[in-house]
Amino acid sequence: MKTSKCFLAAIAAVGLAFGAAGAAKADNEHVLSVASMADFTGPYADIFPPIAAGRRAVFDWWNAEIGADLGVRIRIREYDHRYDAARVASMWPGIRSDLNPVLILGVGGPDVAALRERLPDDKVPMIMATAGYGYAWMSDPWIFNPRATYAHEAAAFLNWYKEDRSLDRPVKLGIISSEASPAYVDIARGMQKYAEDNPDVVELVETIWTAVQPDDLTAHVHRIVRRGAEVIQIQTNTAAVVAAKRALQAIGRPDVVIMTSSHNGLPMSGSALGGIDQLEGNYEAHGQALGTADPTVAREFYDMLVADYDLTAGWNVATIMGLNQGIVAVRAIEAAVAEYGAGNVTGEAIREMMFATEFDTAELFEILPTLNFTREAPFPVAGLSVNIATVKDGEYTLAELGYPVPILNPW
């Protein structure tokens, strides 16, 4: 595989930061178990296979190239909870008994809602791939998000949109959400709070509460467009994006912009619509690498996993979410091995290293920005940014790289 100088530089940085701890392979291999929460049969069944594939490829790479020298092997086991908080709660005691994990890879809101009160007692930290939630925004966390909340990411987009359009007034925003998930409700509440606190940036026209996977939103969308909405924020799922776009097409308003997140981003929603060209001029915004064709260190890391570790999932936002989650997890485990020794890695040790370690963007292969977790919040409270993609001339392309995330008040 052809390897560029920037990728070699990233590998070198990783070696300097982490490799020194594992100069000699231990005589006995220590196996660490990770619970990989999944949704293969629920509302995210269409996108979860590449997320899971991305996670697994990172662990395979780490086991072969780093863990082998440290005398540590990470095994992951997937548990399908169908994105349902009640199912997570019912499954967790069995997972604890059967697997005894030192770490959990979470899927989203149901994991947070079901386990946030359990994890401090069980002493198992959880790392997410998604953005965070206001109801989990508390000090001394056991749940870690490498991205800020969905409201943070949407607020960053709206700031960028206002600046990009040179508007001398607030952006008029409509939100499509659902009361079926605590995460969805939280996103809407966070944006309501941001609109209240920042009337010069955003004017919230209306929040549409609908089914978790709506079929027809024409009447609802027509109403908020008549009321002036120029941006519709949808950070729920692809079904909602499809329904909203079909509604805009039906009322002849392709100029109204839809903003999505990572898990329901432009390529995935475009595929559900019959082609990404259906989302011409729309946007996605989130705090991780983009799956565009632009040459990046993140893309080269992915290409290496494809060539050497049998990663078959495509280069897209869903796969990148798996890479994002996996790379933070293995770096935290690696730091715990260096600090406590291969035979002494526990959930508590990994959590302590989440606070004690600066996860440099080079060590994360630029999949994420540099991360510094503190005990103030489950996500870094400063230094985060979003990347913004759009569809231009039928092509998925970069619109903005590294736009800063604003400060939000808790809600």
CATH superfamily of 5-148+292-380: Response regulator (3.40.50.2300)
Question: pTM (2 decimals)?
Answer: 0.83
Pairwise CA distance, residues 326 & 322, whole Å: 6
**Segment 19-65, tens digit of pLDDT:** 444 434 445 899 999 999 999 999 889 889 999 999 999 999 999 99
Every domain range in the chain assigned CATH 3.40.50.2300: 5-148+292-380, 150-286+387-404
**Segment 342-354, tens digit of pLDDT:** 999 999 999 999 9
26, two tokens: 């231990």
The hierarchical CATH code for the domain 150-286+387-404 is 3.40.50.2300
Ordered mean pLDDT values, 10 residues apiece, the chain (411 residues): 43 44 59 97 90 98 98 97 95 97 94 94 96 91 95 98 98 96 92 97 98 95 98 96 98 97 92 96 96 92 98 94 97 98 98 97 95 95 92 96 93 94
